[in-house]
Every structure is written in structure tokens, then in C-alpha cells.
């Protein structure tokens, strides 16, 4: 006699195996990958990557913060240096420890350190947005909404200990900005 578990699967059709399951998945995927005129689009992974890369480059041309966060070039280093200079000018008597940590973030080879400094400055310093605007276009309405909602929330989570690492903070903020 079959066990009740096997019988339940057989009766409800929960478990699909082999070719039937693969065929169903292919059909769902083809349905999702339709072109504008309704014909099936056959994309390989390289084509999808190229499409996403093109969209990223187009968006980064019109949004300097997006460019800093998602394009791997020297703009994040430049932005970090400009933020550092801005902070040093605004707070000439900052502690040696804070100055050393800001310098460490700017000279680090890790982009997450650059992004953490930039994002934290954007959340706590009004003039930091002006610094970024000097490097390129910063969409005002989008940025203000992002700063007041997602960035403020994630920074508060970091300061209250709900987010326990800078890497998690940066990833959460990047994700929020990407979906804005």
C-alpha cells in the first residue's frame, strides 16, 4: 500500500517530473520573453547581459549617483575625495581618528568603503548633494525622495544597530536606489 504522502502527491498532481516539468518551464519562459510584436524572443545569456549593460550605461549618463553606485570606474573615488575635502573644509577641527577613518575610506581599494562614506555623507550633510552635483546630473526629485525615505531609513537602521555591517548598509541602500 502506498504511503499517504505519495498518494496525496499523485492525487493532487503536486510533483511533476522529467520532460513534463522542463517543457512547462520552457513554455513559461517563452511566454515571458515575447518581443513587442508578439513573436518569441530567443535570448542567450550574453544578449541579456548586453541589454542590461546598455540600459545601465544609459541610466548612468543621466544620474551621477547611479553611475557612482553601479558603474565600476574612478568616479566613485573622485566623489569620495571631493566629499572628504568638503568635510575637512566644513569641520577643520575634526578629530584625528575621524580624519584617519575618512582617509582610509577614500584610499581603500574596496568600492564599498567609498560608497559607505558617500552615502553616509549624503544622509547627514546637506552640502554633500551639491558635491555630487558638481560631478554630473543628479535628478532632483528622485534624489530628494530617495534621501528622505530610503537613505534616511537605512542610515537610521545602521546607527541603531539594526544593520550590523557597512557592507549590508551599502547593499541595502544600493538596492533601494536601483528600484527608485
Q: Are residues 58 and 38 in the same domain?
A: yes
SS3 content of the chain, % helix, strand, coil (to 5): 75, 0, 25
* pLDDT > 70 in the chain, percent: 76
Mean pLDDT (whole number) for 41-47: 75
Residues in the chain: 180
Contact 114, 121 (CB under 8 A): no
pTM over 0.85: no
The answer to the question of residue 132 being in a domain is: yes
In this prediction, residue 151 carries a pLDDT of 96
> How many domains does the chain fold into?
2
The answer to the question of residue 3 being in a domain is: no
* pLDDT > 90 in the chain, percent: 57
User: What are the residues facing 34 on neighbouring strands?
Assistant: 40
In this prediction, residue 20 carries a pLDDT of 64
Q: Are residues 162 and 80 in the same domain?
A: yes
Report pLDDT digits (tens) over 128-157. 999 999 999 999 899 999 999 999 999 999
CA quadruple 168, 157, 80, 55: dihedral sign: positive
Q: Which domain holds residue 32?
A: 19-62
Residues whose CB is less than 8 angstroms from the CB of residue 178 and which lie 6 or more positions away in sequence, other chains included: 66, 69, 70
Q: Are residues 38 and 82 in the same domain?
A: no
Q: Which of 80, 149, 148 is nearest to 115 (CA)?
A: 80
Q: What is the mean pLDDT of the chain?
A: 82
Q: Are residues 148 and 87 in the same domain?
A: yes
Residues whose CB is less than 8 angstroms from the CB of residue 43 and which lie 6 or more positions away in sequence, other chains included: 33, 51
The answer to the question of residue 14 being in a domain is: no
Is the pLDDT at 13 greater than 80, yes or no?
no
Is the pLDDT at 105 greater than 50, yes or no?
yes
Q: Are residues 47 and 75 in the same domain?
A: no
The answer to the question of residue 13 being in a domain is: no
Q: Are residues 43 and 122 in the same domain?
A: no
The answer to the question of residue 80 being in a domain is: yes
The answer to the question of residue 90 being in a domain is: yes
Q: Are residues 173 and 115 in the same domain?
A: yes
Query: What is the rounded CA–CA span in Å between residue 113 and residue 77?
Result: 10
Is the pLDDT at 27 greater than 50, yes or no?
yes
The answer to the question of residue 6 being in a domain is: no
Amino acid at each position: 500500500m502506498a504511503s499517504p504522502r505519495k498518494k496525496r502527491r499523485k492525487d493532487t498532481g503536486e510533483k511533476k517530473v522529467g520532460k513534463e516539468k522542463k517543457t512547462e518551464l520552457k513554455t513559461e519562459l517563452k511566454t515571458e520573453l515575447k518581443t513587442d510584436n508578439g513573436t518569441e524572443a530567443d535570448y542567450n545569456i550574453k544578449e541579456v547581459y548586453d541589454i542590461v549593460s546598455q540600459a545601465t550605461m544609459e541610466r548612468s549618463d543621466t544620474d551621477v549617483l547611479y553611475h557612482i553606485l553601479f558603474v565600476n570606474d574612478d568616479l566613485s573615488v573622485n566623489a569620495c575625495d571631493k566629499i572628504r575635502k568638503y568635510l575637512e573644509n566644513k569641520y577643520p577641527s575634526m578629530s584625528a581618528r575621524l580624519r584617519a577613518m575618512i582617509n582610509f575610506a577614500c584610499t581603500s581599494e574596496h568600492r564599498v568603503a567609498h560608497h559607505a562614506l558617500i552615502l553616509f555623507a549624503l544622509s547627514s550633510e546637506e552640502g554633500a548633494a551639491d558635491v555630487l552635483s558638481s560631478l554630473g546630473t543628479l535628478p532632483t526629485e528622485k534624489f530628494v525622495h530617495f534621501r528622505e525615505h530610503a537613505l534616511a531609513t537605512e542610515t537610521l537602521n545602521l546607527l541603531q544597530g539594526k544593520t550590523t555591517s557597512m557592507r549590508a548598509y551599502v547593499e541595502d541602500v544600493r538596492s533601494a536606489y536601483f528600484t527608485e
